[in-house]
A and B are shown apart, each in its own frame.
Chain A
């Protein structure tokens, strides 16, 4: 069964460093999302991406964040200059997008720790 994959599973970085989190969505899906979950808290929407552009972003998704789909398969989230409060689990999700296909399928997550 097709699934969303994410790399790395864990990443430790120093405050101020740039990180890139990678995702490979399910191959025929058209809508892509990033969410984050601070330890012990709920899952929060960051950004959605469709047709090679951002379709919606949350207040969390400030200028330090960017997304791209460089090669038609990978979907990346970049944090330019990490802060301590960026420590969280980051989930990628994808959705087919055809009529009736509303379910988002999530990857296993990348646990980011900023020191």
Chain B
């Protein structure tokens, strides 16, 4: 069965600090997909990134970077030089290749960036 764990319920940092959000997953499928979504205070879910299980290259997009490690079943998300606008709840999610490819979400990490 699929499972996603985000052990950090809340993180609070001061602006310009770097922050890493942890995500650990479980799956029996050999092919799967990992996602990060951002939920700002307005409530919508904004897609940030998708990673395929067969592609372990890390990715950087501006201040955002993602570290995918199959050996530890982790897909961590780092924000460099955080800004107040980064304040949101961040969800890690997993879908398996088989079936309807539903998303299984972690509990989310509430990130607060203080000025």
Task: Give the interface of A toward B (CB within 8 A).
Answer: 31, 33, 35, 41-45, 48, 50, 55-56, 58, 89, 91, 93, 95, 102-109, 111
Contact = CB atoms under 8 A, between A and B. Distances in A.
B102 A43 contact: no
B85 interface: no
Interface stretch (B21-29, B41-49, B64-72, B73-81): B41-49
Contacts, number: 59
Given A93-B103, A104-B47, A107-B44, 7 more contacts: A33-B100, A35-B103, A42-B91, A42-B106, A42-B107, A56-B102, A106-B47
Given A89-B43, A109-B43, A56 B33 contact: no
Contacts of A104: 47, 95, 103
A78 B101 CA distance: 22
Contacts of B93: 43
Nearest to B52: A102
A43 B105 contact: yes
B104 interface: yes
Nearest to B99: A56
A95 B103 CA distance: 11
B16 interface: no
Contacts of B37: 106
Given A42-B105, A42-B107, A43-B91, A48 B43 contact: no
15 contacts: A41-B107, A43-B105, A48-B100, A48-B102, A50-B100, A55-B99, A56-B99, A91-B45, A102-B52, A102-B95, A105-B47, A106-B37, A107-B44, A108-B43, A109-B45
A19 to B, nearest CB: 18
Contacts of A42: 91, 105-108
Given A102-B50, A103-B50, A45 B43 contact: no
Nearest to A109: B43
A21 B43 CA distance: 17
Closest 3 CB pairs of A and B: A48-B100, A56-B100, A106-B45
